[in-house]
Amino acid sequence: MMPAPLALPSGISLENLLQELRQLSWGAADILLAYGRGEQPPHGFPGALSVEEGGEGPVSAADLAVNQWLLDGLQAAFPAAHWTVLSEETAKVQLTEGEPLDAEWLWILDPLDGTKDFLQGTGEYAVHLALVHRNQPVLGVVLLPELEELWLGVLPGLAGSAGEAWCENRAAERTPVRFSSRRPLAELVLVASRNHRDGRLEQLLEALALGDTKAIGSVGGKVATILRGETDLYISLSGNSAPKDWDMAAPEAVLRAAGGCFSHADGRPLAYNTGDVRQAGCLIASHGFSHGDLCGRAAEAIAQIDPSFPV
């Protein structure tokens, strides 16, 4: 059943919003590509790619430049909009532990998901931007600068949309989502992190007995491989060192808008702006066709591997 229509904040149309997001996204791509190639970035940002160690890892001049570009751009395009922007780069000063932000409409931004990949030159990094309404994402943007891909997803109900996701290039030419035709668990291709893997996850993957595995850096990059049909699922299994709201919100929005699934292994939906930015537990993103079976098998396996682990 189609969700009830959800109007955007007063005075904002979906068409106008998407057009502004396109311009801001490709501007962000230009900034990141320039920094990555050692060139002078556009829009007056500093030329040196300085790197500092932040609380969660390296923070580069590129992170900060894209963060400013997007925050300033949203403000300039929609100066009267009744929404708040939460960014990974400003979260420490914005958030109080245990207290959600007082925002019915909330943008959640990761200006550079995969900073280590960016600094290492793998090209597997992304920009994430999601619009969340009352704890649930309703619109997502995943930008992959090196691949010249801009993934956009609009969830059903937003501004009367039936729900749609697609990929665009700089000329705004669209490529549709192409989920794979693989269905049996033994044939499904997993997309996984190169670095964030522990013994518990390895045991879970052994129990699921999936097909091949492909390693990709950014969460947005991982979900894009599902949307292209190159892979079929992604699993995040973590506790205190879990990915944060800004890692998951935009990829989830695009995947779900395409008809895929993104949930906890017990079927619970992800929730955002809850007072805890960690997205802990066993999270499974998939093309959707085998999602129920995946979740059931994963929950059973985790109960055997670590009964105290909350899925």
Delineate the domains of the chain, giving CATH numbers in brackets: 14-176 (3.30.540.10), 185-305 (3.40.190.80)
Angle in degrees, 0-180, between the axes of helices 199-208 and 291-305, rounded to the nearest 10 = 130
Confidence of residue 198 (pLDDT cuts 50, 70, 90): confident
Answer yes or no: are the C-beta atoms of 223 and 251 closer than 8 Å: yes
pTM: 0.95
How high is the mean pLDDT of the chain?
Answer: 93
SS3 158: strand
Q: Per-residue pLDDT tens for 58-79?
A: 558 899 999 999 999 999 999 9
Nearest to 178 by CA among 123, 231, 142, 137: 231
Please give the distance of CA 160 from its chain centroid, rounded to a whole number.
23
Question: Could you read off the pLDDT of 253-277 as tens digits, one per residue?
Answer: 999 999 999 999 999 999 999 999 9
Tell me: pLDDT of 219 over 60.
yes
pLDDT band at 115 (very low <50, low <70, confident <90, very high): confident
